[in-house]
Structure 1
Amino acid sequence: MATLLLLIIYLAFISLGLPDSILGAAWPVMQPDLNVPIEMAGLLFMTIAGGTIVSSLVSGKLLKRFGTGKVAAVSTLMTALALSGFFFAPSIIWLFVCAVPLGLGAGAIDAGLNDYVATHYHAHHMSWLHSFWGVGATLGPVIMAQFMIGDPTWREGYLAIAGIQFILVLVLFLTLPLWGKVKPKPFAEKEPEMVEKTTEGVGPLKIKGVKLALAAFFFYCGVEALVGLWGASFLVNMEDLPAAKAAQWVSFYYAGITAGRFVSGFVTFKLNNRTMIRSGQTIALTGAVLLVLPLPIYFSLAGFILVGLGLAPIFPSMLHETPARFGREHSQTIMGYQMAVAYTGTTFLPPLFGLIAAHSTIGLFPVVVLLFIAAMLLSSECLNKVLRSLLNQREKATA
């Protein structure tokens, strides 16, 4: 029963990843077709992410009232309808209208499924869960690229992805009875239990380390979205690649995330979440350096892939640590806060770069990627220091 439900959740995450990557891949063709400025992609992306912030903040209440299964099914239906709207939208205004339910649906799915897996399954399941998001995010630009080869028809790409979403909606509604039959997992290590006890009776945002965790999520999602949204435009405008080939190169970035998370699922049997996070940040920094340096073009492709590989274990490992870091009592609420702040990074950082690029040059893209990854690393290391201090205090109090 638990295995069957896990497969359903994996399918849901493929569906979640599909629309996340297609706007940036299609934008070099969408922009002239819609006759809008280049920075409009950032505003459209901001609208989608704004919806995810709202739904993430209220996800704790929705999940407690309706359950994860119902929230996931209805939210997926919202995203399917919104993507269909992209196909029919006659102007940029209607794209903004459709972006609202697209964001609202995505945020509720993300927060709900992440908390469910964090509390019911083990670390390797969380890594594999997000590798399936990567499958969707990788397939998105690939599907879109197929429709843009020759005659650029981005609308049909959106319609094809909407059709996949509608199939998943049917599957989720048919499997609703499974969600209440899987029991929460016990903690596997003593250390998280000891940290959890320090959070009893404390408000979620007042728990030490929560704000640093939120900062790490902010910069993580900011850089992940930045590369996905502006990577193709950087390659087209600065490296003179054709739009279809640039979209394919961005799909390699998402493929790096996908492959990295699949491998990370096995590595978690040997390494803890903290080590996975630190290792991923180091690899991502290496990829960003390759993008910054004035090297031949295929080093840029290697940089995209390394950034993807490095980002791969970070997000699922941080999410899976949530109950252990801050306690099960606050897990759903803090998970919602983390997703909201993560999408705040998605909402504001890529559009902010779009405005900067419009008034200067998109050639700043590699430098900004490097700075965001460095900020994420700093926040994460400061959080580790706080958690070590809390653990030491707990050990002294019980000695």
Structure 2
Amino acid sequence: MGALIAFVDRINISAALTVEPFKQHFQLSDVDRGWINSAFFWSYALFQVPMGWVVDRFGVKKPYAICFTVWCVASALIGLMPALWGLILMRLIIGAAEAVVVPASYRWIRTNFTAENSGTAVGLYMLGAKFGPAIGAPLAAWLIVTFNWELMFIITGLTGLLWLVPWLLLARDGGKAETATPSQQKKAPDVPFRSILSSPLIWSTLVVYFCYNYFTFFCMTWMPAYLVEQRGLSLKEMGLYTFFSFMGIAIVALVSGWAADQLIKRYGRTVLIRKVFVVAGFAMASTVLLGAHADSVEEALFWNVASLSGLGLTTANNLALCSLTLIPAPIVGRVKGIQNVAVALAGIVSPLMTGWLLHATGSFAAPMTLIFAFLVLGALTVVFLLRAEWAPRIAGEGPVHLT
């Protein structure tokens, strides 16, 4: 639920950026809209590694609660900002606070689930992460149409704070006992970042995460504008098709994570099975290029939904493989923090490049062609560079023996 609310507070800006009163209030060009979408990820990237260290050191419950409060309040305050500087400042604050979400979530999953069950666990987490955009886009559009963009930010921001009550009452730091041994837990704070970064697998996962998230962040930041401005949908219709796209990736992510778990339990071959699902997802997502060059609106909308939904085959399995299965439990928070820098970099580059290419060409075809190129690069990296023997090690432990 925390991830769902976080993504609602990320995507509501994308709906606002399609509305003329919002653009006129802040006097935004296409390039400016790219910068606004990107601003969140500058601070998000900066705080990834520190937040990973925080959850490894202090646990999940209290850091999550503090950061959750900060980003909800900052999101609500966007509705009161009088000028562009205030909008950018609030987006930077939201990015810094939301940096806790992924390291905290994966820290908890890694210490409570085995490799054979991690796909389902990550699928459930991603269900919330993808439901956020699925619900957030139509909700933001409805609130803007019903009220205005100012009240939309205030309502979505402050309503999220209600989740703090059950979190503080029911959440526990770690649930089951840590799966790492006491000796591993003692060593975890002493593992230097240079040792983690010396692993070729870590660098390979950064490429995969960047390529995957380049597409997803395009969908979160520019897809509403693409549907309204190039395909002629109304604001309500845009919200509906955005809902279908993100609902599709959420459901496929959950089902494919569960399916991979069942195959692994039956046949073993953890890395191979996860890889097959990941590459299949990249292949399905590449159909975005068909949508970019579709002549009819109906065909474009079909590929818009199909490509993002197909990427769900990658979602849970890639996360389970790159951030859980191949990573020792005591350093999951820090490794995930490093990996999420690549995620944030995609969030910075994708909206900026889309805005620049849209300004230069006047069409979304060029930005979508670049998405296709990154999807191909991601698939090739998975096939040739994600190798278990290159995984990082904890002192005193051998290499990861997975196939």
The alignment's TM-score, normalised by the length of structure 1, stands at: 0.84
- 1:83 equivalent to 2:72? Answer no
* Conserved 8 A contact 1:59-1:108: yes
Q: Could you say what secondary structure the match of 2:28 adopts?
A: coil
Alignment map for 1:2-41 (pairs within 5 Å): 11-29=1-19, 30-41=22-33
Aligned to 2:274: 273
Moved more, 327-336 or 102-111: 327-336
Aligned mate of 1:50, from 42, 50, 54 = 42
Q: Could you say what secondary structure the match of 1:114 adopts?
A: helix
- 1:168 equivalent to 2:169? Answer no
Instruction: Report the Cα distance in structure 2 between the residues aligned to 1:39 and 1:158, rounded to whole angstroms.
Output: 22
CA displacement at 1:25 relative to structure 2: 2.3
Aligned to 2:315: 315
Instruction: Report the Cα distance in structure 2 between the residues aligned to 1:389 and 1:85, rounded to whole angstroms.
Output: 45
Instruction: Report the Cα distance in structure 1 between the residues aligned to 2:356 and 2:130, rounded to whole angstroms.
Output: 28
Letter in 1 for 2:215: V
Inter-CA distance 160–265: structure 2 relative to 1 (3 Å threshold): farther
CA displacement at 1:80 relative to structure 2: 0.6
Aligned to 2:294: 294
CA displacement at 1:305 relative to structure 2: 1.2
Inter-CA distance 323–200: structure 2 relative to 1 (3 Å threshold): farther
Aligned to 1:182: 176
Q: Could you say what secondary structure the match of 2:337 adopts?
A: helix
CA displacement at 1:388 relative to structure 2: 7.0
Instruction: Report the Cα distance in structure 2 between the residues aligned to 1:275 and 1:55, rounded to whole angstroms.
Output: 32
CA displacement at 1:339 relative to structure 2: 1.0
Instruction: Report the Cα distance in structure 1 between the residues aligned to 2:192 and 2:68, rounded to whole angstroms.
Output: 35
Aligned to 1:347: 348
Instruction: Report the Cα distance in structure 1 between the residues aligned to 2:278 and 2:48, rounded to whole angstroms.
Output: 23
Instruction: Report the Cα distance in structure 1 between the residues aligned to 2:259 and 2:83, rounded to whole angstroms.
Output: 47
The alignment's TM-score, normalised by the length of structure 2, stands at: 0.84
Alignment map for 1:1-399 (pairs within 5 Å): 11-29=1-19, 30-121=22-113, 122-149=118-145, 153-176=148-171, 178-184=172-178, 203-271=195-263, 272-286=273-287, 288-321=288-321, 322-363=323-364, 364-384=366-386, 386-387=387-388
CA displacement at 1:183 relative to structure 2: 2.3
Superposed CA RMSD: 2.7
In structure 2, list runs of 5 or more residues that go unmatched. Answer: 181-190, 264-272, 392-397
Q: Could you say what secondary structure the match of 2:261 adopts?
A: coil
Inter-CA distance 180–213: structure 2 relative to 1 (3 Å threshold): closer
Inter-CA distance 327–357: structure 2 relative to 1 (3 Å threshold): same
Letter in 1 for 2:16: A
Inter-CA distance 45–76: structure 2 relative to 1 (3 Å threshold): same
Instruction: Report the Cα distance in structure 1 between the residues aligned to 2:354 and 2:285, rounded to whole angstroms.
Output: 19
In structure 1, list runs of 5 or more residues that go unmatched. Answer: 1-10, 187-198
Q: Could you say what secondary structure the match of 1:241 adopts?
A: coil
CA displacement at 1:58 relative to structure 2: 0.7
Letter in 1 for 2:254: F
Moved more, 91-100 or 269-278: 269-278
Residues 80-101 of structure 1: CA deviation (Å, up to 9, x unaligned): 1111111111222111111121
CA displacement at 1:204 relative to structure 2: 0.5
Aligned to 2:395: none
* Residue identity (%): 14
CA displacement at 1:323 relative to structure 2: 3.6
* Conserved 8 A contact 1:24-1:230: yes
Letter in 1 for 2:280: S
Letter in 2 for 1:114: Y
Instruction: Report the Cα distance in structure 2 between the residues aligned to 1:372 and 1:265, rounded to whole angstroms.
Output: 23
* Conserved 8 A contact 2:253-2:313: yes
Instruction: Report the Cα distance in structure 2 between the residues aligned to 1:106 and 1:112, rounded to whole angstroms.
Output: 10
CA displacement at 1:329 relative to structure 2: 4.1
Instruction: Report the Cα distance in structure 1 between the residues aligned to 2:72 and 2:254, rounded to whole angstroms.
Output: 26
Letter in 1 for 2:92: V
Residues 129-157 of structure 1: CA deviation (Å, up to 9, x unaligned): 101111121110111111233x6712222
* Conserved 8 A contact 1:15-1:164: no
* Conserved 8 A contact 1:72-1:172: no
Instruction: Report the Cα distance in structure 2 between the residues aligned to 1:98 and 1:67, rounded to whole angstroms.
Output: 26
CA displacement at 1:337 relative to structure 2: 0.4
* Conserved 8 A contact 1:225-1:350: yes
Letter in 1 for 2:149: W
Moved more, 301-310 or 240-249: 240-249
Instruction: Report the Cα distance in structure 2 between the residues aligned to 1:373 and 1:33, rounded to whole angstroms.
Output: 36
Instruction: Report the Cα distance in structure 1 between the residues aligned to 2:278 and 2:218, rounded to whole angstroms.
Output: 20
Q: Could you say what secondary structure the match of 1:295 adopts?
A: coil
Instruction: Report the Cα distance in structure 1 between the residues aligned to 2:228 and 2:100, rounded to whole angstroms.
Output: 34
Moved more, 212-221 or 313-322: 313-322
